Amino acid sequence: MEVKTSLLDNMIGVGDMVLLEPLNEDSFIENLRKRFDHNEIYTYIGSVVISMNPYRSLPIFTPEKVEEYRNRNFYELSPHIYALADEAYRSLRDQDKDQCILITGESGAGKTEASKLVMSYVAAVCGKGQEVNKVKEQLLQSNPVLEAFGNAKTVRNDNSSRFGKYMDIEFDFKGDPLGGVISNYLLEKSRVCKQPRGERNFHIFYQLLSGASGDTLSKLYTQLVVTLHLTPVLITPAVSLYVLSQNAMQIVGFMEDEVQLVLELVAAVLKLGNIEFKPESRVNGFDESRVKDKNGETIAYYARDALAKNLYSRLFSWLVTRINESIKAKTRHKVMGVLDIYGFEIFEDNSFEQFIINYCNEKLQQIFIELTLREEQEEYVREGIEWTNIEYFNNAVICDLIENNQNGILAMLDEECLRPGTVTDDTFLDKLNTICAEHQHFESRLSKNSKFLTDHSLPHSCFRIQHYAGKVLYRVEGFVDKNNDLLYRDLSQAMYKATHSLMRQLFPEGNPAKVNLKRPPTAGFQFKASVGGLMKNLQTKNPNYIRCIKPNDKKAAHIFTDSLVCHQVRYLGLMENVRVRRAGYAFRQPYEPCLERYKMLCKQTWPHWRGPARDGVEVLLTDCSVPAEEFAYGRSKIFIRNPRTLFTLEERRRACLEDLATLIQKIYRGWKCRTHFLLLKKSQVVVAAWYRRYAQQNKYEKIKSATLVMQSFTRGWKVCLCIEYMPVSLQMQKYFLGLKTTVPSMSPIDNTWSAQPYSFLEGAHTELRRIFHLWRCKKHRGQFTEEKKAVYEEKLEASEIFKDKKALYPSSVSQPFKGDYLEIHKNPKYLKLNSAVEEKVLLADVVNKINRANGKGSPRLFLLTKSNFVLADQKTGQVKASVPLPDLTSVSVSTQSDGFFALKLKEVMEAGTAKGDFLLSSEHLIEIITKLHRTGTTASRRHVDFTLQCCCCFSSSSLGPICVCDVLATATVIIMFSQTDLGSG
């Protein structure tokens, strides 16, 4: 019997909410909690995927999982986002149906990660090849580029998309990706100049300041302190993020000069944040502002911020266009759209951006309701099943409140922006209070007809809309300016006159030859048009839904807040979605897998059914006595009305499987016992036969052995009478042949050797042992690499210098010589010091320098090259002393287990200036002295003179009043180096 897994097998809670019994809000939330606590973050509502953000990595997105869900039935395995992605991809590839995957939810619910998982799965399961892989890589790498420039950290999400993104991935007839087209919606450009408390600017600013080198930053003219709310505390991304963004831009298709141009404009936006103004008066009496300090006029700061926002917004749009040029397909056959757009937002202070974002989410909710009901109805009609209508909330009335061309909020905002006279945010609010006061989803305290006159939670300068996701309070301050989105014409002309090529492209209206006096469309008008186009695009495709939910507001793992999840379940309309699904039939399944799963319940279908699958299901349900009103036969599927019917079938299947398992175990145990008995019987016959043979052979061998012993004694007695001694040549031959079996192992530390058999071979025996040891040592040395040889040579030289002379030496034998203990080439802290040392650093360590005046120690960086040693400050990396090795006359250490050593220098240098000696202390004394010794020539190293001498006598004039004898307690070993020795390294 072939056993397949299913979402009904080993289910934690209920994998499909349609099967939940009883169905109410409490059981719905409890089922989500139970699955979330067991790391089951995905749950179905029919074909809709509910995704809970785990706020941690889970081992469910591996290549093995991709293969597990590849080409499998949607309900065949436990719920997963891969199942939905596979279903959409196979429908597109095999049935030529354009697909769209709609990912919705609050900010921080995991929409961006869900879109990445969908794209990575499709990239993994589609075709292979050099060109296809290049296209896939470009599509995937477009994400980090857009995230760097369009995402930011908010109070609810560390990687919040501050723009809407819709990507159409285009495929050929085989299902291989050809390219794509990205559409972006409403970048939150106000974040460039101002962010709410606890939030950050766009990622690219921090990546640039944290990851770019000093030279790069200098070239980009960002030497000044940045004031666009980029405090040092927040500039913490790893350098690798900057590198990843640059690599992604190159993979997508950006040239090096284009990347440089983009970074220069990012730096220009940062530079704008440093501009300050001061007021001045002209001779003719007019006022003006000059760049100086914080007391400039307000209009100058407004122009500065407007330019910064427009510059960044246009740069982002140019990036999207440039990416589209790289990833666009030459031909188009099939399309899969992935929508990753900002989630519904309810902040403490909601402005024009939140109003536009929530309007877009209202439209998405509307299309979700329409397409869900339409798809449900189409399936029943397609299968020939009667459809039963169900009541649900339709948010079209909210969409109409916002987008109505006559008296919608956006239309009134545009009217205020375009009409002559004094226009303020308050006049806009007055118009809303007049026209929208009676609307059931609009609330305002200032309206004369308002029932909220005594509602003190509703400020005078705000209005409130009752969205499908809850009530949101909007502050009208800034609505008019943000909707106008105007930039002074002289600023556009100034940008067009810039020598920067990309800057000129971003401000084409600044061209004096193409002056256009027509007022540009408002931001609200543009967004409404783009959202309308998006809705039309989505309606032409087969929809697939991922509804993202965040379990808590703390962005923490293992926390499930019931009230927060309940709020999201309500405004996402998930309960209504379940009821719509269950209005007709709760469960449907194709005939083939249904028969395969339940065939053991009927004798006629078990173990195999020879005929059409539908006939087999009819026989099965009739035999199981399922009431006729509980199911219906479609053209390709069986429809089950009540979940209890399905659970009854599951329970009977589970009991039947237990009976089958018992039967299989009984038959298997009988077969196993019978097989074991037959094996024992056969083995007994074989053993008996072999034993009888063995007994006879043993008896024969004993008789033969006794005979041979008697014969040998007789022959030996006769031979001894003729030969008194064995010849010497035979003894030597026996000795050398015996060495083949007694020779020790090839390990150089194996001191075993066979005993000497004959006294006359004593010399040869000893010499052979010596030769064999030298030979295996040579073999052992031949396995060493050049690096290991150098290490062992240093260790050997350390042994020659310090063995039996320095008490510290035995403890250092097992410690490898590392050389660069500071990792000076990798640590950015020592880049300045590394550049100051031109030669290769042989050793870099922290030592203690003993002060001549008071005997106190101070930490210093000790660097040794082939021709110099350098002492530098540990904190700043500033070079304190750089001494050529030819000026070092001797090195002095004690015989004890301390780390002190003294460096004796020439008293008069070439320039005629005297330098004092150094008394230092280090934990790596043995390695430092050894490397100093190795800097000499081989010839001079053979004549190193070791003498005992008091350190005070060594250089009392240079070390001052310090008694080194008191420090070291005993005499020292002096390692003398000649000037030619130290200078030739």
| Pick from 595, 607, 619: nearest CA to 663 | 607
Residues in the chain where the model's pLDDT stays below 50: 1-4, 222-238, 294, 723-724, 909-914, 937-985
Same domain, residue pair 694 and 742: no
CATH of the domain at 394: 1.20.58.530
If asked whether residues 768 and 646 sit together in one domain, one would say no
Return the pLDDT at 725: 53
Query: Does the residue 837 lie in any domain?
Result: yes
CATH code where residue 934 lies: 2.30.29.30
Residues 636 and 712 placed together within one structural domain of the fold: yes
Per DSSP, the residues of 764-802 read: HHHHHHHHHHHHHHHHHHTT--HHHHHHHHHHHHHHHHH
Catalytic option among 108, 524, 573, 584: 108
Q: Which CA distances in Å does 537 have to 100, 163, 271, 338, 339?
A: 9, 19, 40, 12, 11
Catalytic, out of 31, 47, 104, 112? 112
Number of domains in the chain: 4
How many of the other CB atoms lie within 10 Å of CB of 9? 14
> At 742, phi and psi to the nearest 5?
-105, 0
Same domain as 944, residue 873: yes
160 annotated active-site: yes
Residues 768 and 708 in one domain: no
Concerning whether 868 is annotated as a catalytic residue, the answer is no
What does pTM read for this prediction?
A: 0.60
Token representation of residue 37: 């606590």
The answer on whether 482 is annotated among ligand-binding residues is no
**Annotated catalytic residue, options 151, 161, 358, 930:** 161
Q: Is 285 annotated as a binding residue?
A: no
Q: Give the domain range for residue 623.
A: 589-720
Residue 102 belongs to a domain: no
863 and 914, same domain (yes or no): yes
131 annotated as ligand-binding: no
pLDDT tens track for 910-924: 444 445 788 899 988
93-124 as b/e: b if 16+ CB within 10 A: beeeebbbbbbbbbbbbbbbbbbbbbbbbbbe
Cα-based distances in Å from 875 to 758, 827, 847, 850, 863: 72, 13, 13, 17, 15
Judge if 950 and 810 occupy the same domain: yes
Q: Specify if 856 maps to a domain.
A: yes
415 is catalytic: no
- Give Cβ neighbours of residue 177 (< 8 Å, ≥ 6 apart): 122, 123, 126, 132, 135, 136, 139, 169, 170, 171
867 appears as a binding residue in the annotation:
no
From 51, 104, 107, 310, active-site residue: 107
Identify whether residues 746 and 842 lie together within a single domain.
Answer: no
703 and 740 both lie in a single domain: no
Give the whole-angstrom CA distance, residue 52 versus residue 560.
10
675 among known catalytic residues: no
**Which residues lie below 8 Å from residue 273, measured CB to CB, with a gap of 6+?**
193, 226, 227, 228, 308
Give me the residue label for tokens 């001045």: 280
- Percent above pLDDT 70 for the chain: 84
Q: What is the pLDDT of residue 30?
A: 95
CA distance 659 to 666: 10
H/E stretch holding 467: strand 462-467
Name the catalytic one among 343, 408, 616, 877.
343
pLDDT single digits (tens) 723-770: 445 566 677 777 888 888 888 888 888 888 888 877 777 888 888 888
Residues 661 and 754 in one domain: no
The one-character DSSP state at 794 is H
pLDDT of residue 604: 84
Cβ pair 169, 148 in contact under 8 A: no
Assess if residue 811 is contained within a domain: yes
Tokens of 520: 């540009």
**407-423, pLDDT tens digit by residue?**
899 999 988 888 887 88
25 is in an annotated binding site: no
Q: Encoding tokens for residue 494?
A: 């100034």
Structure tokens at 25: 């809000």
855 & 938 share domain: yes
Specify the pairing of strand 888-894 against strand 972-976: antiparallel
Same domain, 873 and 950: yes
* 108 in a known ligand binding site: yes
The enclosing domain of 599 has a CATH number of 3.30.70.1590
- 916: annotated binding-site residue? no
| Residue 343 a catalytic site member | yes
**Catalytic residue chosen out of the listed positions 113, 147, 170, 345:** 345
Quick check: is 635 in a domain?
yes
Q: Determine if residue 105 is labeled as part of a ligand binding site.
A: yes
Q: Is residue 830 part of a domain?
A: yes
One-letter amino acid at 135 equals V
CA gap 350, 478 in Å, rounded: 11
Question: Measured in whole angstroms, how far is the alpha carbon of residue 138 from the centre of its chain?
Answer: 18
Residue entry with tokens 């209206």: 509
Asked whether residue 807 is domain-assigned, the answer is yes
Instruction: Out of 143, 160, 433, 922, pick the active-site residue.
Output: 160
Distance CA 297, CA 303 (A): 10
Q: Is-catalytic flag, 53?
A: no
Residues 955 and 902 sit within 8 Å (Cβ to Cβ): yes
**Cα–Cα distance measured from residue 777 to residue 744, given in angstroms and rounded to the nearest whole number:** 13
Catalytic residue status for 108: yes
